[in-house]
């Protein structure tokens, strides 16, 4: 504001100085050309004062108008700043309230989720305790019951008998396919089939051992656990299918059959039996250890 007043005063002084110079120049021109009658110094001073006062009043009016406009603009700016500050404070207040509300809702949701999780865990733990308790009680009852001990003993006898018959079958099979192997060794089919392997009469013992194993399993399968029973059913079916559709037909001399093709088919059947028999023995071993 002080800067504006100083500028206005400077403008007024310049206007007065300019007006006085113009007036004096006008007087000189009048005297030079005789355009006016000579005037006194007092009249000149009076006229200069009048013009000075008029210019001063005009400049004051302009200054007051300028100052008024400046004050009005500053007022608008202050009002705009106050309005912006108020809106800013309002928005901040709303954001704080919203943050507080969302934070409270989140905390409540987390607490509810944790509560539900704890409740679910308690329910599951209760069920697990009940199941374990019931299982332990049932095991204790079965172990203490004489008939349970008899069933366990019978199951052990059945699994042992089946295992021995399957071991007999494997030994007979190895004696025909690879007689250099000792009983219990892993099956390994020679690169060339032995002459003993291609003789029909050498497979009679294998057939008898296969039938004996299948008959024993059919009589006592009730004592086996479900998984072992299912695997042995599949094993018996494979034995029957391989023996009757792949081994026996390829041992017989059939007209119109390529010997090389017959040997290849026989070899594939032997390799399959060499895998299936040890797998069935391993299943019986596992059943014996788990259930007896």
Q: What is the pLDDT of residue 162?
A: 93
- CB-CB contact of 284 with 162 (8 Å): yes
Output the pLDDT for position 120.
Answer: 80
The mean pLDDT values, 10 residues at a time, for the chain of 292 residues are: 63 62 54 49 76 78 78 80 79 78 76 80 81 72 60 87 93 89 83 85 91 94 92 93 88 65 87 92 90 70
Terminal Cα distance for the chain, rounded: 109
pLDDT at 199: 85
**In this structure, are residues 206 and 172 in contact, taking their beta carbons and an 8 Å threshold?**
yes
pLDDT (0 to 100) of residue 33: 44
On the CB side of 255, CA atoms within 13 Å amount to 0
Residue with the two structure tokens 């497979």: 203
């Amino acid at each position: 504001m002080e800067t504006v007043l100083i500028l206005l005063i400077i403008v007024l002084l310049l206007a007065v100085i300019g007006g006085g110079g113009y007036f004096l120049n006008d007087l000189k021109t009048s005297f030079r050309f005789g355009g006016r009658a000579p005037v006194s110094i007092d009249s000149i001073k009076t006229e200069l004062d009048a013009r000075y006062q008029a210019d001063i009043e005009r400049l004051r009016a302009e200054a007051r108008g300028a100052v008024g406009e400046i004050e009005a603009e500053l007022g608008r700016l202050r009002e705009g700043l106050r309005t912006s500050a108020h809106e800013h404070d309002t928005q901040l207040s709303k954001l704080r309230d919203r943050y507080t509300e969302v934070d409270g809702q989140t905390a409540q949701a987390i607490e509810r989720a944790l509560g539900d999780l704890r409740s679910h865990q308690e329910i599951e733990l209760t069920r697990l305790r009940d199941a374990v308790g019931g299982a332990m009680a049932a095991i204790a009852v079965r172990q203490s019951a004489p008939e349970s001990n008899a069933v366990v003993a019978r199951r052990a006898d059945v699994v042992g008998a089946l295992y021995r018959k399957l071991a007999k079958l494997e030994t007979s099979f190895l004696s025909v396919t690879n007689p250099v192997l000792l009983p219990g060794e892993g099956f390994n089919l020679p690169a060339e089939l032995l002459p003993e392997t291609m003789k029909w009469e050498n497979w009679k013992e294998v057939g008898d051992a296969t039938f004996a194993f299948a008959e024993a399993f059919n009589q006592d399968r009730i004592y086996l656990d479900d998984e072992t029973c299912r695997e042995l059913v599949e094993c018996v079916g494979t034995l029957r299918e391989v023996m009757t559709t792949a081994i026996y037909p390829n041992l017989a001399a059939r007209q119109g059959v390529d010997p090389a093709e017959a040997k290849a088919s026989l070899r594939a059947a032997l390799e399959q039996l060499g895998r299936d028999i040890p797998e069935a023995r391993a299943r019986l071993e596992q059943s014996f250890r788990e259930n007896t």
